[in-house]
Amino acid sequence: DVKVTQSSRYLVKRTGEKVFLECVQDMDHENMFWYRQDPGLGLRLIYFSYDVKMKEKGDIPEGYSVSREKKERFSLILESASTNQTSMYLCASLWWGAPPGELFFGEGSRLTVL
């Protein structure tokens, strides 16, 4: 079974802090994604990566950056956290040959910014 692991399930940070969210997948998938999930808004794509060191902006990249130094690991970085970044963050991976919707998600990282 594909496993996507988000190391931090719950985080509480202060405004202005730098935040790292880590995601690791164990199935050698080329594509990895970061979404945020908010009530009434569904899932919105922040960034995605289709290969090591490659990244593309999603729909809401402002205030975020990403890093993909190894195929299995995709990190989301909040350079200076703000209260409007309080949300559930979901990492997902996808094999390059799979249909576009066959995403495998991690369990999520719930971030609260005070």
Q: How many helices and strands (H and E) does the chain possess?
A: 0, 11
Which residue of 34, 48, 64, 74 would you call a contact of another protein, by CB under 8 A? Answer: 48
| C-alpha–C-alpha distance, residues 99 and 95, integer Å | 9
Would you count residue 101 as binding another protein (CB under 8 A)? yes
| Residues from 18 through 37 that contact another protein (CB under 8 A) | 31, 33
Give, in order, the Cα–Cα distances in Å from 7 to each of 10, 38, 67, 90, 91: 9, 20, 16, 11, 11
Would you count residue 94 as binding another protein (CB under 8 A)? yes
Would you count residue 107 as binding another protein (CB under 8 A)? yes
Q: What are the φ/ψ torsions at residue 39 (nearest 5 degrees)?
A: -55, 130
Q: How far is the CB of 1 from another protein (least distance, A)?
A: 11
| Site residues, another protein (CB under 8 A) | 4, 31, 33, 40-45, 48, 56, 58, 90, 92, 94, 99-108
